[in-house]
């Protein structure tokens, strides 16, 4: 009999296991494929490996800016880029596997027989508690069925053997925009079609306008308010469909044990319990915020609540950073200026342009800005948006400020190193800037 059985070894399930082990719970984890889930195998990690190659390629092409002369013209070797991606995934997967020491790992499909029994392949697992962490998958639309060759999902495109000369990206959300920047950076002709009036819905409008200008400058064609049916698909080597992800909850036998789904998502309460008291769920399968770091937070919280008994902690998503690895990068946390105005909050908006940053100039990455939103009365920092160099790293400072209830003066009184990009956050809030 296990204290906890986790279904799914993605970022939610993996981190839940580590926390459960530290709390003394006898734990097993069931995974039908590879440890690491979408993030490691077909999401966060592989895309960022390719994005880094695109950045290096762009940097080499402008090396003369830094006084470095390259004798021959830069060229990409997509096969070697893919080899590096696969090698990094394998190394990280091995590392994750080694960290699961002391936890029984079962490679099998899982389905519930009862609230305390799970069938894993030919085994019948007895468990006091369970955590469902089965993740999500790419949404397929009827007009563009995946064929794995011409019309592809984000999973498919990461397995490509050759760099496409042209690509149509259907969907201008986070995934679509990251792939657009990635392939454009490697030399592919890119077109984005987004049915909404703007790409990156929910992101600060000023930031969206800025990345739109950048995309246009580097040759990415963006069609908003558009219908893919108006596009001649024969004019593209690949059609990448990035219209979102849906929770994976099928085949688990949930209907047999009373676990309720809401629009395909596993319904959970504020403590991450499903409608069956001893069964919890975390990560993408619950819907809502589909981010690996939020899934990890939920997995840890669920394990802590299972170990704690009656002393339960609520899930609080108020300061979850959103990171978009375009070039320049985009990141946000808390509320943005548009949300503050929409809620009629009495706020101040402080801004700093990276054109004024010494380090941004040194890096030759001065496109973009930082915006910090703070309450006029209490001076507490409520959120921020960044577009610019290392935005995905810098946002952690604003995230810490939001989650810790820091004020503008707390940041103003902090000494930031110079020359750094991080001091730009201080400069954004400096009265004398």
CA–CA separation, 107 and 120 (whole Å): 8
Residues 6+ apart with CB under 8 A from 132: 7, 8, 249, 252, 259, 266, 274, 279, 280, 281, 282, 285
CA distances from 26 to 103, 108, 279 (A): 8, 19, 16
Helix H or strand E segment including 403: helix 391-404
Q: Indicate if 426 belongs to the active site.
A: no
CA–CA separation, 15 and 349 (whole Å): 36
- Enumerate the β-bridge partners of residue 384: 333, 372
CA–CA separation, 242 and 301 (whole Å): 30
Is residue 397 within 8 A of residue 386, CB to CB? The reply is no
Residues 6+ apart with CB under 8 A from 275: 258, 259, 260, 267
Is residue 219 within 8 A of residue 184, CB to CB? The reply is yes
Pairing mode of beta strands 151-152, 136-138: unpaired
Residue with tokens 């990206």: 169
Closest alpha carbon to 214 in 186, 185, 236: 185
Spell 73-104 as b/e; 16+ CB within 10 A means b. eeebebeebbeebeebbeebbeebeeebeebe
Q: What's the token pair of residue 402?
A: 């939001």
26: phi then psi, degrees, rounded to nearest 5: -75, 120
Cα 315–294–183 angle (5° rounding)? 160
Query: DSSP code of 234?
Result: G
Find the catalytic residue in 34, 129, 418, 426: 418
* Biggest CA-to-CA distance, the chain: 69
Residue with tokens 């703070």: 374
317: phi then psi, degrees, rounded to nearest 5: -95, 30
Active site residues: 418
């Amino acid at each position: 009999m296990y204290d906890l059985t986790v279904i799914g070894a993605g970022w939610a399930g993996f981190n839940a296991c580590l926390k459960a082990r530290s709390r003394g719970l006898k734990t097993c984890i069931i995974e039908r494929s590879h440890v690491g889930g979408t993030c490691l195998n077909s999401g966060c990690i592989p895309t960022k490996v390719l994005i880094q190659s695109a950045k290096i390629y762009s940097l080499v092409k402008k090396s003369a800016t830094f006084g470095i002369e390259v004798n021959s013209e830069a060229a990409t070797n997509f096969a070697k880029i893919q080899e590096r991606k696969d090698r990094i995934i394998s190394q990280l997967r091995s590392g994750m596997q080694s960290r699961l020491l002391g936890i029984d790992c079962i490679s099998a499909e899982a389905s519930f027989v009862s609230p305390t029994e799970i069938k894993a392949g030919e085994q019948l697992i007895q468990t006091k508690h369970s955590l469902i962490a089965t993740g999500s998958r790419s949404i397929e639309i009827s007009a563009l069925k995946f064929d794995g060759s011409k019309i592809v999902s984000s999973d498919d495109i990461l397995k490509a053997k050759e760099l496409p000369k042209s690509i149509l990206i259907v969907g201008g959300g986070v995934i679509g925009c990251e792939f657009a920047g990635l392939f454009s950076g490697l030399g592919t002709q890119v077109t984005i079609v987004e049915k909404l009036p703007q790409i990156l819905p929910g992101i600060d409008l000023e930031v969206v306008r800025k990345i739109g200008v950048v995309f246009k400058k580097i040759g990415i064609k963006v069609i908003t308010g558009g219908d893919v049916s108006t596009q001649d698909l024969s004019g593209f080597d690949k059609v990448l469909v990035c219209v979102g992800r849906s929770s994976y909850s099928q085949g688990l036998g949930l209907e047999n044990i009373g676990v309720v789904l809401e629009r395909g998502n596993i319904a959970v309460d504020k403590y991450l319990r499903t409608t069956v008291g001893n069964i919890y769920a975390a990560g993408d399968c619950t819907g809502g915020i589909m981010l690996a770091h939020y899934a990890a937070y939920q997995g840890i919280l669920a394990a802590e609540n299972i170990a704690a008994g009656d002393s339960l902690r609520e899930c609080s998503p108020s300061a979850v950073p959103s990171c978009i690895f375009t070039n320049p990068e985009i990141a946000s946390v808390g509320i943005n200026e548009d949300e503050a105005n929409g809620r009629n909050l009495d706020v101040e908006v402080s801004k700093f342009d990276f054109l004024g940053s010494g380090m941004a100039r040194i890096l030759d990455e001065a496109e973009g800005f930082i915006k910090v939103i703070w309450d006029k009365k209490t001076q507490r920092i409520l959120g921020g948006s960044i577009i610019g160099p290392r935005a995905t790293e810098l946002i952690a400072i604003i995230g810490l400020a939001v989650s810790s209830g820091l004020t503008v003066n707390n940041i103003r009184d902090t000494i930031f190193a110079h020359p750094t990009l991080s001091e730009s956050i201080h400069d954004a809030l400096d009265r004398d800037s």
